[in-house]
Amino acid sequence: MLPREFYSKDTVNVAKDLLGKRIIRKIRGVELSGIITETEAYKHKDDPASHAFTKITERNKVMFGEVGIAYVYFTYGMHYCFNIVAKHPKTAAGAVLIRGIEPERGIEMMQKNRKRITLENLTDGPAKLAQALEITKKQYGLDLTKKSDLYITEGIEKPKGIDAASRIGIRDAKDKLWNFKIKIRKEG
């Protein structure tokens, strides 16, 4: 498992460092896993796109707490999104949105959860990923640095080619290139 210190640095750096790490999800005795391929950083007062930008709310309060904790929220009245609290010790709030994984184990269960047969587009978006891994508000506040039904471990060798772009689906702070992505599947 990744230790708490891993998440205790600048949120943007953690978002990059999570690429290539492995997410493990245990559901009803089945282990699902995948390599993290896309993340987005959300900071505090310097980030108007962040849930933590204006104030602490019931929804975002974990972003202001201990690092390495799951921040799961419901959006558009139909989807869950999975984040990990990550911030420098001198920063009040921050989290990394996990936007995509390359499935490894438990693929059949992921396909069933998503009602989808093909691997293409199975977990390449935050709502798709949460649905495939059955991540809901039940995981809100879960300590990801301890072995449980959801945690993050080392994964593949540190990726060399990281693409940086504007974050997806936001109105503010589009100038911040805090969406990070790697490719690990061979095309063709």
Residue with tokens 């920063």: 91
pLDDT band with cut points at 50, 70 and 90 for residue 170: confident
- Give the range with max mean pLDDT: 15-29, 68-82, 152-166: 15-29
Domain boundaries, the chain: 4-181
Residue 185 has a pLDDT of 63
pTM of the model: 0.94
Has residue 186 got a pLDDT over 60? no
Q: Which residue has the higher pLDDT, 119 or 141?
A: 141
**pLDDT above 70 (res 169):** yes
Residues with Cβ within 8 Å of 61's Cβ and at least 6 positions away in sequence, in order, are: none
Amino acid found at 20: G
Mean pLDDT of 37-58: 90
- N- to C-terminal Cα separation, the chain: 33
What's the mean per-residue pLDDT of the chain?
A: 93
Q: What is the mean pLDDT of residues 159-167?
A: 88
Q: From CA 142, how far away is CA 64, in angstroms rounded?
A: 14
Task: Name which residue leads in pLDDT, 123 or 187.
Answer: 123
121 phi-psi bin (left φ>0, alpha ψ -120 to 50, beta other): left
User: Higher model confidence: residue 49 or residue 30?
Assistant: 30
| The CATH number, out of the four listed (3.20.19.10, 3.30.420.40, 3.10.300.10, 3.90.10.10), of the domain defined by the range 4-181 | 3.10.300.10
Give tens-digit pLDDT for 52-101: 888 899 889 999 999 999 999 998 778 999 999 999 999 999 999 999 99
Category of 91 on φ-ψ map: left (φ > 0), alpha (ψ -120 to 50) or beta? beta
